[in-house]
Amino acid sequence: MAYFPDLTPYQYTGLDKGTGIPALNIGWLTKSKPYIIGETPAEFKQKLLAFCFFEHTVYNCLGYHTCQFCASPQAPIEVQRGQKVAYLGNGEIRVIGVSAVYAAPTLVYHYVVAHGYKPPDEFIEAVLHGPPPDSDEHKALIGGLVG
């Protein structure tokens, strides 16, 4: 998977340019670069996972990326909430913030929960207080990216 520093302009696919909203990278981690470790609220983790279910993701690939930080990498990483299952490592999420849209790989949830990655505060605030992935605003955004 590609590495991009947090809060740098998103350019991975180049497909977000037509939205008119700046997209910023979050959670494009690699083993060769340090990342911030810290606590994040349980509510943040719960809401972040909601973005990672297939119906809310964009740019899904045919294969899966493994986690470079796990001792025994597996793909896909499976996360279950109730009856729903999210398979992490083959797509991207978009989170709408106050002044930007944040672009992250679905593995961002795993990085937070399993490896203590602490995303920038503005991303955490966007997940906590921005439009949820089942909102009309979010559906319009991702519909414009994949349609």
Residue 145 is predicted with a pLDDT of 76
41 assigned to some structural domain:
yes
Query: Six-digit token pair at 48?
Result: 């972040």
Q: Identify whether 66 is part of a domain.
A: yes
* Spatial separation of the C-alpha atoms in residues 16 and 49, rounded to whole Å: 22
Rounded-to-integer distance, Cα 85 and Cα 80, Å:
4
Contact 97, 123 (CB under 8 A): yes
pTM score, two decimals?
A: 0.93
Residue 102 lies in a domain: yes
Tokens of 40: 């994040």
Beta bridge partners of 4: 28
**pLDDT computed for residue 147 by the predictor:** 43
- Predicted confidence at residue 117, as pLDDT, reads 98
CA–CA separation, 50 vs 73, rounded Å? 23
| Domains identified in the chain, total number | 1
H-helix segments, 8-135: 42-51, 108-115, 121-129
Task: Note whether residue 3 is domain-resident.
Answer: no
Which residues constitute the domain of residue 113?
A: 15-146
In a structure prediction context, what are the per-residue pLDDT tens digits for the chain, which is 147 residues long? Answer: 789 999 999 988 766 665 667 799 999 999 999 999 999 999 999 999 999 999 999 988 888 999 999 988 888 899 999 999 999 999 999 999 998 999 999 999 999 999 999 999 999 999 999 999 999 999 988 887 764
Quick one: pLDDT at residue 141? 84
- Phi-psi category of residue 54: left, alpha or beta, with phi > 0 → left and psi -120 to 50 → alpha: alpha
Cα–Cα distance measured from residue 64 to residue 83, given in angstroms and rounded to the nearest whole number: 22
Q: Is 27 left (phi over 0), alpha (psi -120 to 50) or beta?
A: left
Q: Does residue 5 form part of some domain?
A: no
